[in-house]
Amino acid sequence: MATEENCTEKKMHNFVVKIVKAGVKAAVVIVIYAILIQFLAPISSIIPSLQQTIQTFVIVYVVLMIISDLASGTLFQHVFNAARALFAMIYLVFFLNAGIFEYTSGNLSLTVDLRLFLVIAMMLGLLELAKSVLQAINYVGERAEPVLI
């Protein structure tokens, strides 16, 4: 009976730790976003959709991060990490229009070639994805029961 209660208490304690950890990480990301959006303010006044697009990205990214942290200690943590990396890559490709960002207002047209930035971001995204796959393999490997011969 006492062992059962200890086990439930430990589970509760672990879950609270996970929530706190996820909350702290989400708060850090939101603070970074709030600082960065100040830097982007001059561009946001020219391109009103920019802030909304970044906001959507941050919301989805943070949600996936929280779910991943809550699922830590299970295989789903790595699945959600991989999903987050994939989401970041796909969102960047669509948002940056495959690296060529075009904006037209009145008789002014602006084109920014962000292909180099996109390539670097894609490589980092692929590294994140590879890391998640490696973590999943490692997790499955560690959980596999040893076979006694």
Partner 1 sequence: MRVPIRILSIATSAFWIFLIIFSASAIYSMRDFQVNFGQPQTSTTEDHELLFSFPMSVVNTGLYGIADFNISRSLLDEDGSVIAGTSIFIPTIGQGQTINVTQNVKLNVTDLLQTHQSLLINDTDLRTNTMLSMLAAGMIPLQASSNSTMQWGAPLNNLTLGTLQLAISNATYYVIRVPLSFENHAFFDLSGTVWLSAYNTVGQLIGQGQTSIQVTQNSPYDGNLEIYVPIGAGPIVRIEVYFVTTFFNYKQEIAANGD
Window of 12-20, 38-46, 56-64, 66-74 that interacts with partner 1 by CB under 8 A: 38-46
**Tokens standing for residue 88:** 């970041």
CA angle, 21 as apex, 17 and 22 as ends, to 5°?
A: 120
Site for partner 1 in 73-112 (CB under 8 A): 107-112
**Can you tell me which of 17, 27, 30, 40 binds partner 1, judged by CB under 8 A?**
40
If one asks whether residue 116 binds partner 1 (CB under 8 A), the answer comes out as: yes
**Can you tell me which of 36, 75, 90, 119 binds partner 1, judged by CB under 8 A?**
36
Residue among 12 and 119 whose Cβ is closer to partner 1: 119
CB atoms within 10 A of CB 92: 18
Helices and strands (DSSP H and E) totals, the chain: 5, 2
- Buried b or exposed e, range 33-50, using 16+ CB within 10 angstroms: beeeeeeeeeebeeeeeb
If one asks whether residue 138 binds partner 1 (CB under 8 A), the answer comes out as: yes
If one asks whether residue 42 binds partner 1 (CB under 8 A), the answer comes out as: yes
Do 70 and 22 contact (CB within 8 A), yes or no?
yes
Residue among 12 and 126 whose Cβ is closer to partner 1: 126
What gap in Å lies between CA 5 and CA 38, rounded to an integer?
A: 50
Count of residues in contact with partner 1, rule CB under 8 A? 28
If one asks whether residue 3 binds partner 1 (CB under 8 A), the answer comes out as: no
Q: Smallest Cα–Cα separation from 103: which of 54, 59, 56, 45?
A: 45
Footprint on this chain of partner 1 (rule: CB under 8 A): 32, 36, 39-40, 42-43, 107-114, 116-117, 120-121, 124, 127-128, 130-131, 134-135, 137-138, 141
